[in-house]
Structure 1
Amino acid sequence: MTDSSSNPGKKDVGTLIIAGLFVALGLITLNDVTGYSDTDSIVFPSFVAYALIFMSVLVIIYSWLKPNPDNGFGKGDWWRRLLLVASMIAACLVMPYAGFLPATAIAFAGSLFAARHEGWDMRSGLVFAGSGAVIMAGFYALFRFALGVPLP
């Protein structure tokens, strides 16, 4: 591994590209919410878009001032990255047809498989399945009953 201080001119290009894409997505979202007719519907996506832009700009500044060329598109398991993105896309595609809970289960399971580096055994599988069910039910109850958000 190389120390970033030995390569002061080399930027972590992957981080800069992804953070730039997140800034662009935030701006697209802010542009999109201008067409919403219900003012209550604008609050959450606008807040998230502003937060995404702000945090991404901070990442760009930090990464520009203190580069770490080992970040970004560095080494790692690409199948984990692809599984995470694929599970999120699958959840978005499934939600209108199957509903919130099955789509959330797909996203949770895909994210968990992508993130867990240790091996699987029966006990850990049951613990993760049980905790995932509790978390998904909690989010369902929060959105459906406490916040009154209509869910598919």
Structure 2
Amino acid sequence: MPNQQRQPEGHVGSLVISALFVIMGIVALYDTTGYYDRDSQVFPRTVALLMILTAGLSLVTRFLHPRESGGFGTGTWWRRVLLILAMFAASLAIPHIGFLASGAIAFAGGLIAAMHDRWTVTTAALYAGCGAAVMIAFFALFRYVLHVPLP
């Protein structure tokens, strides 16, 4: 069969996932219509619109130019599971332990999932310091500049 007629391995799955993200963005955008305070609509609407735009672009691009590679590539499954679990754990922990501590959970889980090189004390200290600086900067931005109440 010629290359143009062969169905790529990750083509259908990528189209489905992109379509699901477009639908989730539309649902999130619709949900913001029930918010009474206009200031609380800005961030969710912006994120929903960006999600619709980028997922729609992905959907159109993948449909017009399918690729041979699958949607997930060749990684290890535990890294993907760890990243998702870390994000869920951080989301569930925010009301109980606060923004900074739950951010540390998300950062540590994502870092462990992404780190392919050998860990050294220097590397761990450098990443911990950089992660703390980024989390504190986000905390200060949201709390003191944007005046977003954080737990």
Which runs of structure 2 are paired with 1:12-91 in the superposition (5 Å)?
Answer: 12-91=11-90
Aligned to 1:10: 7
Deviations 1:73-112 (A, max 9, x none): 4432111111111111000100000000011001111111
The alpha carbon displacement at 1:52 in A equals: 0.4
Q: Which amino acid aligns with 1:21?
A: L
The alpha carbon displacement at 1:47 in A equals: 1.1
Aligned to 1:115: 114
Structure 1 unaligned spans of 5+: none
Deviations 1:110-129 (A, max 9, x none): 11111111121111101000
RMSD of the alignment, in Å? 1.5
SS at match of 2:13: helix
1: distance between equivalents of 2:115 and 2:100?
22
TM value normalised by structure 1: 0.91
Q: Number of aligned pairs?
A: 148
2: distance between equivalents of 1:6 and 1:84?
35
Structure 2 unaligned spans of 5+: none
TM value normalised by structure 2: 0.92
Aligned to 1:133: 132
The alpha carbon displacement at 1:6 in A equals: 2.5
2: distance between equivalents of 1:74 and 1:135?
29
The alpha carbon displacement at 1:18 in A equals: 1.8
Against the structure 1 CA distance between its residues 135 and 8, is the aligned structure 2 distance closer, same or farther, given a 3 Å change threshold? farther
The alpha carbon displacement at 1:9 in A equals: 4.2
Contact 1:29–1:49 under 8 Å retained in 2: yes
The alpha carbon displacement at 1:13 in A equals: 2.3
2: distance between equivalents of 1:108 and 1:64?
34
Deviations 1:29-70 (A, max 9, x none): 011111101011111111110110011010011111111131
Which structure 1 residue ranges, 4+ long, deviate > 6 Å from structure 2? none
